[in-house]
């Protein structure tokens, strides 16, 4: 079972930012990535729709023999992971906006969070925020329109710049010193964000934390692949093969799949 692949899914190509962290930390693990780009963005869908899409992705990964599933999507985690954990007898790793380190380290007592509507309106997000944000001002911003631009390869476009200018303005005016990226697509915006934010603003994303958590859960379940054989890291998309290929290293195989 330890040689079985790690399953990873996202509403599209954003979860590759998590894959990259995982592959660095766990270079001998086999993996299968599902980019559900046809149904992106998940962020504006209802909780039930997000659960249904997460079930579809999970069952696809289970049919391919995955030993663990990483829900590499904040929107799917905050809306569906409870259901998935209660339904399937396999460990699930989720990703949530890293409010805690931002709230613990802020000096201006003001932090920003950029995420989808689905994440920002979820119960899980509010529980975490309430737990850590005592005395801290949290400026929440829905990143409407960002995911479709990334999904169509327009990450560094003029349109993206215009959107970010609007979304960052209230945060900059409020003097945030941490910006939490609450969507796995957003790490691809980091070069643009560095350019647009005041120097003192620290950008926080949860990719490395998810990779570490995956390693620790695999270890706990005695599922770490201890062989030192070159792994197979397979990528499937029901959207554009070309866009997915352009965002990951060319050495990984990408195939079209109807799911």
Residues tagged active-site = 73, 183
Contact region for ligand DGL (CB under 6 A) — 27-35, 70-78, 85-93, 153-161?
70-78
Cα angle value 99/221/16 (rounded, 5°):
50
**Dihedral sign, Cα of residue 249, residue 253, residue 258, residue 259:** negative
Nearer to ligand DGL, 100 or 225 (CB): 100
- Would you give the end-to-end CA distance of the chain in angstroms? 25
* CA–CA separation, 163 and 29 (whole Å): 37
Residue 133 tokens, joined: 């944000």
Interacting residue with ligand DGL among 11, 129, 214, 240 (CB under 6 A): 11
Is position 41 an interface residue for ligand DGL (rule: CB under 6 A)? Answer: yes
Interacting residue with ligand DGL among 16, 37, 122, 184 (CB under 6 A): 184
Residues in region 115-134 near ligand DGL by CB under 6 A: 116, 119
Q: Are the beta carbons of 163 and 146 closer than 8 angstroms?
A: yes
State the number of binding residues for ligand DGL (CB under 6 A). Answer: 16
Interacting residue with ligand DGL among 32, 155, 185, 205 (CB under 6 A): 185
Task: Calculate the alpha carbon distances from 68 to 42, 233, 238 in Å.
Answer: 22, 15, 22
Interacting residue with ligand DGL among 51, 73, 120, 244 (CB under 6 A): 73
Which residues of the shown chain bind ligand DGL in the complex (CB under 6 A)?
10-11, 14, 40-43, 73-75, 116, 119, 147, 183-185
């Amino acid at each position: 079972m330890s040689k079985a692949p790690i399953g990873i899914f996202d509403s599209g190509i954003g979860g590759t930012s998590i894959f990259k962290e995982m592959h660095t930390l766990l270079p001998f693990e086999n993996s299968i990535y599902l980019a559900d780009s046809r149904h992106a963005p998940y962020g504006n869908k209802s909780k039930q729709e997000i659960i249904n899409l997460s079930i579809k992705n999970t069952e696809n990964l289970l049919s391919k023999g995955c030993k663990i599933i990483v829900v590499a999507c904040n929107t799917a985690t905050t809306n569906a992971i409870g259901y998935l954990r209660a339904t399937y007898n396999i460990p699930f790793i989720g990703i949530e906006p890293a409010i805690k380190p931002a709230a613990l380290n802020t000096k201006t007592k003001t932090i920003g969070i950029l995420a989808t509507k689905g994440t920002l309106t979820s119960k899980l997000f509010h529980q975490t925020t309430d737990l850590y944000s005592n005395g801290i001002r949290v400026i929440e911003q829905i990143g409407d329109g960002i995911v479709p631009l990334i999904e169509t390869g327009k990450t560094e476009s003029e349109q993206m710049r215009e959107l970010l200018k609007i979304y960052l303005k209230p945060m900059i005016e409020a003097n945030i010193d941490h910006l939490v990226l609450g969507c796995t697509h957003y790490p691809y915006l980091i070069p643009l964000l560095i350019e647009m934010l005041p120097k003192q603003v620290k950008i926080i994303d949860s990719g490395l934390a998810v990779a570490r958590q995956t390693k620790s859960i695999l270890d706990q379940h005695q599922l770490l692949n201890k062989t030192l054989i070159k792994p197979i890291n397979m990528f499937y998309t029901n959207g554009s093969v070309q866009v997915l290929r352009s965002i990951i290293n060319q050495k990984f195989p990408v195939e079209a799949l109807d799911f």
